């Protein structure tokens, strides 16, 4: 494994600047997730590291070595794509063994067999080694695709939304397994997604990308609790953070220049039926173990998470107050 570093990287396609002055280091053994909306430059960043694109400006180093001029095959990276790209005519075993059979590796048959079986166990596909890869479910195929990257023990794994084509249950399971495998192997991993749950649960650090720029890099907790601006605040949190004008809801101590208040569930306090009221319950979404309360206050809509037994009904008037919310200035930057 190795440290991977991007220094002041820019890349344009014609008029469109896909990546802008990006500086980012993925430490040896670290799991970094790039999170951003479509078109933010996430895939381009992975492709620049893999050598599938050349930067217009800046430097990529892997294990301290400058990659300028190095072909993709010479970079020692393993790429897992969104859509499993298996060899359909080969068995699971052969798909896993394929990357180890290149003449440059000179691995003996025993060593290949040992590694294939070890990785198959890791990704829990060892019971299907003799199956043709086309006879697998989507989740199994993606396990093989991930396994095929893992057998190689490269300097870095690059994964581009590897779980997005799977159903929610499988995605949840593989998310846990991938994190377990990564920590067991101590792999350096750069993972791209627009799924905030994947980012929150797997990343050592999350990088928030927007319009080709890295807006913030930090642990999931830092990004969630201390977003540098409105854009970052809106990327994490379920339900979405409420962005409301200053002065709408009482409570808190807005610093000078505050224009917008960011209020997540933990920043809102509901006081039902205490005589005074400033908000009305619009409707309640029952999710089973919890509910989303949709409220209206002076024409603004807010949503918050509540326990399913909170004693309110649609149409009820309630008192809503703020508790240590996030404050943003007119330029969208966070004020502390
Ligand atoms: N080969 C290309 N030719 C032209 N434009 C490209 C090319 N690759 C990427 N772009 C443009 O660069 C920008 C960033 O694209 P990129 O695929 O890196 O975004 P992304 O964050 O991975 O998006 P998504 O989540 O949709 O995959 C987009 O505006 C895209 O249209």
Which of 204, 229, 254 is the last residue in one of the domains?
A: 229
Element (H, E) at 117: helix 109-122
Residue nearest (by alpha carbon) to ligand 1 atom 8:
44
Mapped onto helix, strand or coil, the DSSP state of residue 184 is helix
Kindly give the distance from the C-alpha atom of residue 232 to the centroid of ligand 1, in angstroms, as a whole number.
20
In the chain, the N- to C-terminal Cα span, in Å, equals 39
**Ligand 1: centre distance to CA 55 (Å):** 14
Ligand 1 center from residue 18 Cα (angstroms): 6
Number of the ligand 1 atom closest to the C-alpha atom of 14: 4
The 326-328 sheet, strands edge to edge: 242-245, 260-263, 326-328, 334-335
Q: Is 189 in the pocket of ligand 1 (CB under 6 A)?
A: no
Partners of 160 in the beta sheet? 192
Q: Is residue 237 part of a domain?
A: no
Shared domain for 248 and 224, answered yes or no, is no
Which residue's CA lies nearest to atom 31 of ligand 1? 39
Token pair, residue 19, equals: 């990546």
Question: d(Cα 39, Cα 209) in Å, to the nearest integer?
Answer: 10
pLDDT by residue for the chain (336 residues), tens digit each?
A: 799 999 999 999 999 999 999 999 999 999 999 999 999 999 999 999 999 999 999 999 999 999 998 999 889 899 988 877 789 899 999 999 998 987 777 788 999 999 999 999 888 899 999 999 888 888 888 889 989 988 888 889 999 999 887 888 888 888 888 898 899 888 999 999 989 999 999 999 999 999 999 999 999 999 999 999 999 999 999 899 999 999 999 998 999 999 999 999 999 998 876 678 899 999 999 999 999 999 999 999 999 999 988 888 999 999 999 999 999 999 999 998
In a domain, 26, yes or no: yes
CA distance 30 to 156: 10
User: 45 and 125 share a domain?
Assistant: yes
**Closest atom of ligand 1 to CA, residue 209:** 21
Q: Is 253 in the pocket of ligand 1 (CB under 6 A)?
A: no
ipTM, two decimals: 0.96
Do 179 and 260 share a domain, yes or no?
no
DSSP 8-state assignment for residue 153: -
Gap from CA of 35 to ligand 1 centroid (Å): 14
Closest to 333 in 3D by CA, of 235, 230, 225: 230
Q: Is the CB of 207 under 6 A from ligand 1?
A: no
Q: Is residue 149 part of a domain?
A: yes
Number of folded domains in the chain?
2
Would you state the structure tokens that stand for residue 69, as one six-digit string? Answer: 């001029």
12 CA → ligand 1 middle, Å = 10
Residues 188 and 247 in one domain: no
- The CATH number linked to 155 is 3.40.50.300
**Closest listed residue to residue 61, CA positions, set 110, 24, 15:** 24
Domain end (from 205, 229, 253): 229
Residue 254 and residue 207: Cα distance in Å, rounded?
28
| Domain that residue 312 falls in | 242-335
Peptide bond into 232 cis (omega under 30): no
**What pTM value is reported for the model?**
0.90
Instruction: For ligand 1, atom 1, name the residue with the nearest CA.
Output: 13
36 CB near ligand 1 (under 6 Å): yes
Centroid of ligand 1 to alpha carbon of 43 (angstroms)? 7
Please indicate, yes or no, whether residues 265 and 143 belong to a single structural domain of this protein. no
Rounded to the nearest angstrom, the gap between the alpha carbon of residue 86 and the centroid of all alpha carbons in its chain is 24
In this structure, what are the phi and psi dihedrals at residue 96, rounded to the nearest 5 degrees?
-70, -35
| 133 CB within 6 A, ligand 1 | no
C-alpha of residue 79 to centroid of ligand 1, in Å: 17
Q: Is the CB of 50 under 6 A from ligand 1?
A: no
Question: Are 28 and 1 in contact, with CB atoms under 8 Å apart?
Answer: yes
Any ligand 1 atom below 6 A from CB of 274: no
Residues 10, 41: one domain?
A: yes
- Whether 235 is in a domain gets the answer no
Domain endpoint, select from 203, 229, 255: 229
Q: Is residue 236, in this structure, part of any structural domain at all?
A: no
Please tell me the distance from the alpha carbon of residue 179 to that of residue 191, in angstroms, as a whole number. Answer: 11
- Say if residue 217 is in the same domain as residue 305: no
Which amino acid residue places its CA nearest to atom 26 of ligand 1? 38
Q: Is the CB of 143 under 6 A from ligand 1?
A: no
């Amino acid at each position: 494994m190795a440290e991977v570093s991007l220094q002041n990287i820019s890349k344009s396609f014609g008029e469109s600047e896909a990546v802008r002055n990006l500086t980012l280091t993925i430490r040896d053994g670290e799991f970094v997730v790039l999170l951003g909306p479509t078109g933010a430059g996430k895939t381009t960043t992975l492709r620049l590291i893999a050598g599938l694109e050349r930067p217009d400006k800046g430097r990529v180093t892997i294990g301290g070595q400058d990659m300028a001029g190095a072909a993709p095959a010479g970079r020692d990276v393993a790429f897992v794509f969104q859509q499993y790209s298996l060899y359909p005519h080969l068995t699971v075993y052969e798909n896993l063994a394929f990357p180890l059979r290149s003449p440059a590796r000179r691995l003996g048959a025993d060593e290949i067999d040992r590694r294939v079986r070890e990785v198959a166990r890791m990704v829990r596909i060892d019971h299907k080694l003799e199956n043709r890869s086309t006879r697998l479910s989507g989740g199994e195929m993606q396990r093989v695709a991930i396994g095929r990257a893992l057998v190689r023990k490269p300097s870095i794994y690059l994964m581009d939304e590897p779980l997005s084509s799977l159903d929610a249950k499988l995605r949840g399971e593989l998310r846990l397994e991938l994190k377990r495998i990564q920590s067991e192997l101590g792999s350096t991993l750069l993972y791209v997604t627009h799924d905030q749950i994947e980012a929150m649960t797997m990343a050592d650090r999350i990088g928030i990308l927007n319009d080709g720029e890295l807006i913030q890099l930090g642990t999931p907790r830092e990004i969630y609790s201390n977003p540098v601006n409105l854009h970052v605040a809106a990327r994490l949190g379920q339900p979405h953070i409420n962005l409301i004008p200053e002065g709408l809801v009482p409570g808190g101590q807005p610093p000078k220049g505050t224009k917008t208040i960011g209020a997540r569930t933990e920043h809102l306090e509901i006081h039902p039926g205490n005589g005074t009221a400033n908000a009305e319950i619009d409707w309640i979404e029952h999710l089973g173990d919890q509910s989303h309360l949709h409220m209206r206050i002076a024409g603004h809509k807010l949503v918050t998470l509540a326990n399913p037994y909170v004693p309110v009904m649609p149409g009820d008037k309630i008192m809503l107050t703020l508790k240590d919310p996030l404050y943003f200035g007119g330029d969208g930057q966070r004020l502390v």
